[in-house]
């Protein structure tokens, strides 16, 4: 156990002006507050906050952070209150302690929800002061070091998984690679001990066979640099951690024997110029592995990390990774943001959470997520991915996860830019919005005030911020459409039963269905959550329908329901966004001019089918789900629809070009085509075409049939 005077001496060693009285009071207060409490190991509980404080002294953090570490569990696990902490230690320490508190008193529906809600609070707290995260990471590190004392395997695994999915990526994001590596290794030992033991055994075998290859390579690199004019350099080497090797094995899908770059060497020099000089020397003497060079000095990582990385076929034909940096860069690489808190004579301004773009983006996700679990999902997306670095037209650097698209880039620039994005120029060329960005791309986003987020974007965006914004917009739009649809369905039901529809009549039904408002009830009806009949009978429980049996008998006896040609009974469907409250079935691709019917589908609203669609056979036993709909089109209706045709075309030179030319000349726009069969004589294709209505598609088909190269054209059904 660290003695009181030892802790104070540790802090005073790197910060002579540290508040000694604050440290002494925090030490005594925490020890008395935890009293006789013990941990799962049987050790006094006070040992835990003391060890957390000890970890933070190794990072040379200020006295306020050390005091927070000593006090971080007092509010949660003892009778002490936040008011007590504020009275004794002041507002700043109380705020930090409150930010670190685990909030275990929250009563949420699931362990995942509880974890997510705790993480939300952590993000809010660390956005105000990044020291909250530093204490939390030290707290998690000590808990992981003592994890084996917990008796329940499922609890150990849950904590380890939370560590590797959330806290390890957070440590990496603020540049604390030393803590990240230890958290990863401790979690890996719990989650996959067999794999870890296997990798450690393989490393031990390589060491025994290689006769200390690491030291041999270090010696050769040091002698080479000295001979070329860099005598005062430090060269160190290490094997990569078991977990990082495991990640590589998974990512590259290779065996351990095939993985050659398991050794990393660090060259530490005096100046930035010497970094590039050392790089030139290494590249001049050893073959470079293509694609492995990264310059994080000219383009630092968002967490401030700076270094040169390269891969070479080094001494003894060993494939190695070499990192070249200055001593200052090394301190930031090991301690990240904590290096900025280390005591300095000039008392430079210290960082706050607001300096980190990724932290602001987490706050943005927090604002737009609907529930804690969704926030946690988006956050994992945001934290746990490799990065690409792209530039705005003005040269500003934007860091994004690997696989990001121009839509992700647009949302990273600003939420409004993302919402109104209609296109993107990548390195001066207009490219599709689903294009994956590469390192160094310059991206210019084209916007339009008329544009809104599109449902299809969610399928290819990878950042949590973009996904959260798109989902929020779709939820807002979807609810409005569900509500209008539900209102129309209820009005029709009331009218058919001889009652006048009023929203006031639905107030009691909303309570019965446990909906907060009448609007929520109507949205539930529109989404298929509640049936129209259930709601109607909740409003009029004594009502006996007279026409219902005859209607059911008629519907069941008919081979297929007929769409009535009555505008007054039809629900409008024009202008609705596909994929939301009302969308068009892909099994039959209905077009204006086709006779159509609507089917209420739980969670999707209404799906529009053509009246002769074979899929309707499966809904004959549920006549209450059928809705009489019709097209409401006119000259002011510019919306285009997708028509699908099946084409058999001669396998001749130029026939495909003729096919698409004919479609284009008839004002059709091909959006997708697929070859379904191919022979020496003919091709069979499915082609999706943007058309105005069924008549437009018929005209295109007629033009195609008149083309000699085309054998047959039919309107296609099915996916």
- Tokens 């974890």 belong to which residue? 115
Joined tokens for residue 580? 């939301």
pLDDT tens per residue, range 140-193: 999 999 999 998 999 999 889 888 877 887 787 777 788 888 999 999 999 888
- Which helix (H) or strand (E) element contains residue 115? helix 111-128
Of 19, 43, 76, 690, catalytic: 76
Which is it for strands 387-391 and 421-426: parallel, antiparallel or unpaired? unpaired
Q: Report pLDDT for 369.
A: 52
Q: Report pLDDT for 103.
A: 35
Report d(CA 69, CA 96) in Å as an integer.
9
Q: Which residues contact 703 (CB under 8 A, 6 or more apart)?
A: 662, 665, 666
Of 77, 165, 182, 497, catalytic: 77
pLDDT tens per residue, range 411-441: 988 888 998 898 888 888 888 888 898 877 8
Give phi and psi for 44, each to the nearest 5: -60, 140
Joined tokens for residue 31? 């020890």
Report d(CA 676, CA 647) in Å as an integer.
10
pTM for this prediction: 0.52
Give the chain's end-to-end CA distance (angstroms, integer).
69
Q: Which residues contact 224 (CB under 8 A, 6 or more apart)?
A: 281, 282, 285
Kindly give the parts of the chain with pLDDT less than 50: 102-110, 340-356, 365-366, 375, 378-379, 381-385, 547-570, 574-580, 635-636
The strands making up 626-627's β-sheet, listed across from edge to edge, are 582-584, 605-610, 596-601, 626-627
Long-range contact set of residues 269-273: C-beta below 8 Å, sequence gap at least 24 = 269/230, 269/232, 269/233, 269/324, 269/325, 269/326, 270/232, 270/326, 270/327, 271/326, 272/297, 272/326
Domains and CATH numbers, the chain: 2-191 (1.10.3210.10), 470-537 (no CATH), 571-629 (no CATH), 639-713 (3.30.70.260)
Residue 77: active-site member: yes
Q: Report pLDDT for 322.
A: 92
Q: What's the farthest any 2 CA atoms get from each other in the chain? A: 102
* Cα 371-373-379 angle, rounded to 5 deg: 105
Report d(CA 189, CA 628) in Å as an integer.
61
pLDDT tens per residue, range 249-272: 766 655 565 555 677 899 999 999
Report d(CA 106, CA 96) in Å as an integer.
19
Q: Report pLDDT for 377.
A: 52
Q: Report pLDDT for 122.
A: 57
- Tokens 């006119």 belong to which residue? 634
Report d(CA 6, CA 26) in Å as an integer.
14
Q: Which residues contact 94 (CB under 8 A, 6 or more apart)?
A: 82, 85, 86
Cβ–Cβ contacts within 10 Å for residue 162, how many? 19
Distances in whole angstroms, Cα of residue 296 to Cα of each of 300, 323, 401: 4, 10, 16
């Amino acid at each position: 156990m660290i003695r009181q005077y030892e802790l104070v001496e540790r802090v005073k060693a790197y910060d002579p002006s540290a508040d000694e009285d604050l440290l002494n009071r925090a030490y005594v207060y925490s020890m008395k507050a935890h009293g006789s409490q013990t941990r799962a190991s049987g050790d006094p509980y006070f040992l835990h906050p003391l060890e957390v404080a000890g970890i933070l002294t190794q990072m040379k953090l200020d006295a306020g952070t050390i005091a927070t570490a000593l006090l971080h569990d007092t509010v949660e696990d003892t009778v002490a209150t936040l008011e007590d902490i504020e009275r004794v230690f002041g507002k700043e320490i109380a705020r930090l302690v409150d930010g670190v508190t685990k909030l275990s008193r929250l009563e949420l529906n699931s362990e995942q929800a509880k974890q997510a809600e705790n993480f939300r609070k952590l993000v809010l707290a660390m956005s105000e002061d990044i020291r909250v995260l530093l204490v939390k990471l030290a707290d998690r590190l000590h808990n992981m070091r003592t994890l084996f004392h917990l008796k329940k395997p499922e609890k150990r695994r849950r904590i380890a998984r939370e560590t590797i999915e959330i806290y390890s990526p957070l440590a990496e994001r603020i540049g604390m690679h030393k803590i990240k590596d230890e958290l990863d290794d401790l979690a890996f030992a719990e989650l996959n001990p067999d794999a870890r033991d296997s990798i450690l055994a393989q490393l031990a075998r390589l060491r025994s066979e290689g006769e200390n290859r690491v030291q041999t390579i270090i010696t050769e690199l040091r002698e080479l640099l000295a001979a070329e004019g860099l005598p005062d350099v430090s060269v160190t080497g290490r094997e990569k951690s078991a977990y990082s090797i495991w990640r590589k094995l998974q990512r590259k899908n290779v065996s351990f024997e095939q993985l050659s770059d398991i050794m990393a060497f660090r060259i530490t020099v005096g100046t930035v110029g010497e970094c590039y000089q050392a790089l030139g020397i290494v590249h001049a003497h050893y073959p470079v592995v293509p694609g492995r060079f990264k310059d994080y000095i000219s383009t630092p990582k968002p967490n401030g990390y700076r270094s040169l990385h390269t891969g070479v076929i080094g001494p003894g034909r060993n494939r190695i990774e070499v990192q070249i940096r200055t001593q200052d860069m090394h301190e930031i690489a090991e301690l990240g943001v904590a290096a900025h808190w280390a005591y300095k004579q000039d008392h430079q301004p210290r960082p706050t959470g607001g300096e980190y773009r990724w932290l602001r983006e987490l706050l943005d996700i927090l604002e737009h997520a609907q529930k804690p679990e969704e926030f946690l999902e988006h956050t994992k997306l945001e934290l746990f991915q490799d990065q690409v670095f792209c530039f705005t037209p003005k040269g500003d650097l934007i860091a994004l996860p690997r696989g990001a698209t121009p839509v992700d880039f647009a949302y990273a620039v600003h939420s409004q830019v993302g919402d109104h994005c209609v296109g993107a120029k990548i390195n001066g060329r207009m490219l599709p919005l689903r294009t994956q960005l590469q390192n160094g791309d310059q991206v210019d986003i084209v916007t339009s005030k008329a544009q809104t987020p599109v449902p299809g974007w969610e399928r290819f965006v990878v950042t949590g911020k973009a996904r959260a914004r798109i989902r929020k917009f779709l939820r807002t739009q979807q609810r409005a459409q569900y509500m209008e649809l539900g209102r129309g369905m209820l009005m029709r039901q009331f009218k058919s039963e001889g009652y006048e529809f009023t929203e006031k009549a639905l107030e009691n039904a909303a309570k019965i269905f446990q909906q907060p408002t009448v609007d929520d009830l109507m949205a539930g009806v529109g989404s298929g959550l509640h049936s129209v009949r259930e709601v109607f009978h909740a409003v009029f429980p004594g009502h006996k329908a007279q026409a219902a049996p005859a209607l059911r008998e008629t519907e069941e006896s008919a081979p297929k329901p007929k769409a009535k040609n009555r505008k007054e009974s039809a629900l409008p469907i024009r202008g609705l966004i596909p994929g939301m409250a009302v969308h068009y079935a892909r099994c039959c691709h209905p077009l204006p001019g086709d006779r159509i019917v609507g089917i209420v589908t739980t969670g999707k609203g209404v799906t529009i089918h053509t009246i002769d669609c074979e899929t309707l056979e499966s809904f004959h036993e549920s006549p209450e789900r059928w809705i009489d709909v019709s097209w409401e089109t006119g000259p002011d209706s510019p919306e285009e629809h997708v028509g699908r045709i099946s084409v058999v075309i001669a396998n001749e030179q130029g026939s495909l070009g003729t096919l698409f030319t004919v479609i284009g000349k008839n004002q059709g726009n091909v959006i997708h085509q697929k070859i379904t069969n191919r022979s020496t004589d003919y091709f069979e294709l499915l082609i999706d075409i943007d058309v105005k209505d069924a008549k437009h598609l018929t005209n295109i088909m007629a033009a195609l049939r008149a083309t000699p190269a085309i054998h047959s054209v039919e309107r296609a059904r099915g996916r």
